[in-house]
Amino acid sequence: MATRPLAASTLLPPLRFRSPLKTPPPSPPHLRRLQTLTRALASSSSSSASAMASPPAKKASVLVPIASGTEPMEAVITVDVLRRAGADVAVASVDPGSAQVGGAWGVKLAADALLADLADAEFDLISLPGGMPGSSNLRDCKLLENMVKRHAGKGKLYAAICAAPAVALGSWGLLNGLKATCYPSFMDKLPSEVNAVESRVQIDGNCVTSRGPGTAMEYSVVLVEQLYGKEKADEVAGPMVMRPHHGVEFSMKELNSTSWNVGETPQILVPIANGTEEMEATMIIDILRRAKANVVVASLEETLEIVASRKVKMVADVLLDDALKQQYDLILLPGGLGGAQAYAKSDKLIGLIKKQAEANKLYGAICASPAIALEPHGLLKGKKATSFPGMWNKLSDQSECKNRVVVDGNLITSQGPGTSMEFSLAIVEKLFGRDRAVELAKTMVVM
C-alpha cells in the first residue's frame, strides 16, 4: 500500500465531558418495583452479560442553521452524524423566506424550516457550520444571535466550526474567557478575550469549537459524546469507518497504474437519489469542485430535490435525463443503501457506466455502491475493489477490500463516510497530481 505521511497530528485535548442528557422521569411505584425485580432476576442469571441495559437517554434536540455560503461539508456532516446518534436535528435557513440555500462550491441544500419559525423553540445544542460568507451571514442574523445568546445563558451546549467561532461566536462575546479554536487563517480574528488554541476540536465548559472540513467528523462525534456519552459516540463512529489517526496520513492502494490526465477541467458526473449517503455525496462534490473540476450533480428522481439517507435535503443541478446529453471523463457513485439500490435499478445510469468502462474511461464508487450497483452488473469484473465493510462478502474478489481506497486502472472504490475525504483526495491526486491534493488537504485541515 502506498501510505503517504502528510503531517504530524494536532491531538485533541483531554475531553471534559458534560453529563449525558437526563433520562425520563421515574416510573410510578408499581412499575419501579417490577423493574427492580426484573433487574434482580437478570443479575442472578447465569447469563449476566445479557442483563438489561439502562434506559435510553432523552432524544436530543439540535439546531443547525445554514445560510448562503455555508460550507456544505461542515453542515451536512454535523447533521448526518447527530441523526445517526438519534438526535432530532432541525436544519434551519436564516435566509429570509427561502428554505433552499446555496452553499459554498455550488452545493445546494434545502432546509427543514426557516429560522423564524423556530424562534421560540428550545434546543439541547446549537451548532454553527462555517464557510464564508456563510459565517458572516449567520453573524448578521439578529434572530440567530439572540437565540444562541439565550441558549448559552441557560448553560446549554453550543458549538461552531471553521470560520464561525471567530466570525459569529467571537463577535457575539460567547467565547470570552474560554479556550477556543477555529479555521487557521481566522485565528487572529478571535477576540483578545479568547484563549486561542490550535486543537482540532476544543471543549471548554458548554462550548465546542473546531477548525474546518477536515475536522468536521471528529467535531460531530465529540458533540454526540457531549450529548449522549462515550458509549453512544463509539457506537456511531464505528460504522462510519473513520480514520484511525486524524491529521497524520492518508493512503490508497493502487494497482495497474494508468494516467488519469484528462485536462485541466475534468467533466465529472455525480448521480444522487433518495437514500444517497449525504456525507459521501457532499464531500465528493465539494472537494472536486475545490480542485477546479466541473462536477454535474444529477438527480435520479423526478425532481431536483432528493431526500438523502439521514434526511438531509440535497438539490441536484439537473435531472439524469438532461445529464445524459453530455459525456464525462469520470462518473462517481456515492453510497447509502437506498441510493446504491436506485443506481442499480437505473438502466440509463448503468448503461452509461458500462459504456464508460468499455471505453476504458474513469469511474468509481464508495460505500454500498461498489457491491450493490457495480458488482451485479459486471462492472467490477477483473478488478480489485473495496466497499463498505459489511458488504465485502458481496464482492467476487475480496483480496484488496481491507484497503480504505483502492485504485485499479480506471476504477476507484472506497469504504464509507469516514474514507470519503481520502477517496476524493485520491481522485484529485490522480487527475491533477500530488501537489494539488496535498494543497487541498492542508486547506481543508485534513492535515
Residues belonging to the active site: 162
Instruction: Spell out the residues 6+ positions from residue 349 whose beta carbon is closer than 8 angstroms to its own.
Output: 271, 300, 320, 343
Amino acid 300 reads: L
C-beta separation of 2 from 245 below 8 A: no
Helix, coil or strand: residue 61? strand
DSSP 391-447: GGGG-S--TTTTSSEEEETTEEEE-SGGGHHHHHHHHHHHHH-HHHHHHHHHHTT--
* Angle at the Cα of 403 from the Cα atoms of 75 and 258, rounded to 5 degrees: 95
DSSP 94-154: -STT-SEEE-GGG-EEE-SEEGGGGTT---SEEEE---TTHHHHHHT-HHHHHHHHHHHHT
Cell triple for 423: 477517496
Neighbours of 304 (CB within 10 A): 18
- Give the β-pairing of 405-408 and 201-204: unpaired
Helix, coil or strand: residue 360? coil
- Give the β-pairing of 318-319 and 330-333: unpaired
* Angle at the Cα of 444 from the Cα atoms of 228 and 169, rounded to 5 degrees: 55
Tell me phi and psi for residue 446, to 5 degrees. Answer: -70, -35
Q: How far apart are CA 319 and CA 299, in angstroms?
A: 5
Q: How far apart are CA 101 and CA 95, in angstroms?
A: 8
Ordered alpha helix ranges (H), 305-415 = 320-323, 337-345, 347-358, 369
